[in-house]
């Protein structure tokens, strides 16, 4: 079992790779993790130029020696390469799993839109730096290595289709070629570091989209590090999401166990 | 000539209404400005509840005694009422002009999408509080009162169709029923108080949209109060917009004289 790590958004430091490698050696000795050197490149905001990030992603995705492609971390930048890079993928790329969240959502969306069948929202190597983050990395390894059911978000019943996204990321890919068909899916959403008025605005955008209105329902993960709204927004994140679900006729299904934190569970798409 | 002012987003204070009324009395004595009491309501983030804001907008828009509806200010909130409120408009609403920018862009978009013919992006009453803001208000009154050509953004040639938006606002209405057809239009864009990575992300979103790819070209207004990117983004706003125009095959036409400032010129839609 070999996992290739690439960074289509922002770079990781070598100590993150070392910590994850050591953790994997102890927890899942059958798993080999290869951090592509591109993970450590720095070009302005990004882990290397658009070309370097796309090349690393395409190389690992198309290499049959890898069973999985693991996104190193979020940040910002994968939307700049997603459409073109996914168009360059060969049949071998369809045989592997893809795992990440946050800004990696552009890649997950585009892969799922292109019919890839092993795409999942879940922890990334950079999470090892969170408090309790080793558990998140182990959870990811358990899913990547042996599809461990204990890694999964608990509301997933194995019957209904599902997908998960950061709220801002999903909003910002609506109407682009990256938007996947999500009709009949349970849609799990989470957010971090956004003012409540922005989450409200993004939920207007998401729930006004004709494609999104075809989902089976929305579950709300954690919204963390919300800056204080001035003036007070007067509604919690759950009230905001309920409001837009009611306005748009989308069933609100309750909370989800995902978020920008160490407890973030795995949500396989489909 | 009677102008009705409503606030579909956030409230204004009475001293703004007084300053604008006094300025209009001196500059355009033939213009009567009526500030709807809803402008001063406060409900959490908004100038009154969604119902109160929608009701004031519909009442003034449908009243033939008004020649124009002027949006009081931006902020956030008009997306919560735009679609439903515009659906309630009567034929009398089509005979008047609508002027605003920033968050009012949701209303402008929806009105233009619904075929309204006198919709314009330009200064609002709250601008009187900016340094030099009296000039912005006079410019708006000149356009509202007598379609003064000197109020217009200088690249408008009276031939090509045009439209103007705040970048974030346009991004957040893509794919919703508020998105107007802009094929063949010169699209003028401006931004305020957004990190450069967010402007880059929003430009990805905007220029990836099939409808937006039909515009005749994009002009970039001012991007003001940009918080420092960490790390440095390495590209100016013009480089960002040129990048996405090139990527998407949209002609980049140069700068535009619009922005969140006292120099903001008027851009009539169409």
- For B199-241, the pLDDT digits (tens) are 999 999 999 999 999 999 999 999 999 999 888 999 999 999 9
Q: Do A44 and B233 touch (CB under 8 A)?
A: yes
Angle at B120 between CA A209 and CA B110, to 5 degrees: 20
**In this structure, how many other beta carbons lie within 10 angstroms of the beta carbon of residue A1?**
14
pLDDT, tens only, A176-228 = 999 999 999 999 999 999 999 999 999 999 999 999 999 999 999 999 999 99
- CA-to-CA separations, A194 to A168, A178, A255, B6, B23, in angstroms, rounded: 9, 23, 18, 28, 38
- Tell me, letter by letter, the H, E, C secondary structure of A116-127: CCCEEECCCHHH
User: Nearest CA of chain A to the CA of B134: how many Å?
Assistant: 27
The whole-angstrom separation of Cα B119 and Cα B111 is: 7
What confidence score (pLDDT) does residue A230 get? 86
Q: Looking only at Cα atoms, what is the longest distance across chain B?
A: 54
Radius of gyration of chain A (CA): 18
B252 contacts B218 by C-beta, under 8 angstroms: yes
Q: What is the pLDDT of residue B104?
A: 98
Q: Which residues of B114-262 form beta strands (DSSP E)?
A: 119-121, 161-166, 185-192, 217-224, 252-255
Say how far apart CA A156 and CA A263 lie, in whole Å. Answer: 16
Judged by CB atoms closer than 8 Å, whether chains meet at A176 and B83 is answered as: no
- Give residue A158's pLDDT: 84
Question: Among residues 162-181 of chain B, which lie with CB inside 8 Å of chain A?
Answer: 171-178
Over residues B68-93, mean pLDDT: 97
Mutate which of B172, B226, B234 to test chain A, going by most A C-beta atoms within 10 A? Answer: B172
Specify the pLDDT at position B229.
87
Nearest to B79 among A173, A204, A211 (CB): A204
Angle between the N-to-C axes of helices A237-248 and A196-207, in degrees from 0 to 180, rounded to the nearest 10: 20
Distances (CA, A) of A183 to A161, A209, A216, B227: 9, 12, 7, 38
Show the low-confidence residues of chain A (pLDDT under 50): none
Taking alpha carbons only, the member of B93, B156, B92, B88 closest to residue B122 is B156
Give the SS3 label for residue B229: coil
Beta strand A186-192 pairing with A162-166: parallel
Residue A114 phi, psi dihedral angles, 5° rounding: -85, 5
**Which value does ipTM take for this structure?**
0.95
Q: Spell out the residues 6+ positions from residue B134 whose beta carbon is closer than 8 angstroms to its own.
A: B23, B128
From B121, B122, B102, B100, select the one nearest A201 (Cα to Cα). B102
Q: How confident is the model at residue B63 (pLDDT cuts 50, 70, 90)?
A: very high
Searching chain B, which residue's CA lies closest to the CA of residue A171?
A: B172
Chosen from A87, A110, A208 to mutate, greatest number of chain B CBs within 10 A: A208
Summarize the confidence of residues B77-90 as an average pLDDT.
98
Question: Using CB atoms, which residue from A42, A176, A204 is nearest to B208?
Answer: A176
Residue B164 pLDDT > 90:
yes
Average pLDDT, stretch B181-189?
Answer: 98
CA distance B244 to chain A (A): 9
Tell me which of B81, B176, B181, B234 to substitute to probe the interface with A (most A C-beta atoms closer than 10 Å).
Answer: B176
Contact A79 B171 (CB under 8 A): no
Quote the minimal CA–CA distance from A106 to chain B in Å.
Answer: 11
The two structure tokens encoding residue B232: 């440095």
Strand segments, DSSP code E, in B52-196 are: 68-71, 97-100, 119-121, 161-166, 185-192
Rg (CA), chain B: 18
| H-only helix segments in chain A | 14-27, 50-62, 82-87, 105-113, 133-146, 167-173, 196-207, 237-248
Which residues between 215 and 254 in chain A have a beta carbon less than 8 angstroms from any beta carbon of chain B? 229, 231-235
Q: Which residue bears the tokens 């700068």?
A: B255
pLDDT digits (tens, 9 = 90+) for B137-153: 999 999 999 999 999 99
Q: DSSP 3-state assignment of B231?
A: coil
CB A265 within 8 A of CB A139: yes
For residue B203 the two structure tokens come to 């430009």
Query: Is residue B101 over pLDDT 90?
Result: yes
**What percent of chain B has a predicted confidence (pLDDT) above 70?**
100
Residue of chain B whose Cα is closest to the Cα of A177: B208
- The reported pLDDT for the residue numbered A249 is 97
CB A251 within 8 A of CB A212: no
* Strand, coil or helix: B64: coil
CB A58 within 8 Å of CB A86: no
**Chain A residues lying within 8 Å of B229, measured CB to CB:** 45
- Quick check: helix, strand or coil at residue A20? helix
**Angle subtended at Cα B89 by Cα B84 and Cα B91, rounded to the nearest 5 degrees:** 155
Inter-chain touch A209–B176, beta carbons under 8 Å: yes
- With 0-12 / 13-18 / 19 or more C-beta atoms within 10 angstroms meaning exposed / middle / buried, residue B85 is buried
The three-state (H, E, C) secondary structure of B124-135, written as one string: CHHHHHCCCHHH
Determine the average pLDDT of the residues in B154-158: 93
Residues ≥6 apart with Cβ < 8 Å to B18 = none
Mean pLDDT for all residues in chain A? 97
Three-state DSSP class for residue A105: helix
B210 close contact with A: CB closer than 8 A? yes
User: What is the distance, to the nearest Å, from the Cα of residue A163 to the centroid of all Cα atoms in its chain?
Assistant: 10
């Amino acid at each position: 079992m070999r996992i290739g790590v690439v960074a289509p958004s922002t770079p990781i430091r070598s100590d993150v790779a070392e910590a994850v490698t050591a953790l994997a050696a102890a927890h899942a000795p059958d798993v080999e993790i290869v951090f592509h050197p591109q993970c450590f490149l720095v070009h302005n905001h990004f882990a290397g130029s658009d070309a370097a990030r796309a090349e690393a992603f395409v190389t690992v995705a198309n290499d049959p020696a890898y069973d999985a492609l693991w996104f190193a971390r979020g940040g910002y930048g994968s939307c700049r390469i997603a459409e073109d890079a996914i168009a360059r993928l060969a049949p071998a790329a369809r045989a592997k799993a893809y795992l990440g969240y946050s800004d990696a959502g552009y890649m997950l969306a585009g892969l799922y839109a292109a019919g890839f069948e092993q795409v999942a929202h879940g922890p990334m190597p950079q999470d090892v730096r969170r408090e309790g983050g080793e558990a998140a990395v182990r959870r990811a390894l358990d899913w990547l290595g042996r599809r461990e059911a204990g890694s999964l978000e608990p509301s997933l019943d194995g019957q209904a289709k599902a997908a998960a996204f950061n709220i801002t990321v999903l909003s910002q890919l609506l109407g682009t070629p990256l938007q996947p068909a999500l009709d009949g899916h349970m849609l799990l959403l989470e957010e971090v570091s956004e003012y409540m008025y922005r989450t409200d605005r993004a939920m207007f955008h998401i729930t006004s989209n004709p494609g999104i209105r075809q989902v089976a329902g929305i579950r709300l993960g954690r919204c963390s590090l919300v800056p204080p709204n001035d003036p007070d927004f007067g509604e919690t994140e759950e009230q905001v999401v309920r409001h837009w679900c009611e306005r748009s006729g989308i069933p609100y299904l309750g909370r989800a166990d995902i978020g920008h934190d160490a407890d973030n569970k795995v949500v396989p798409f489909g």
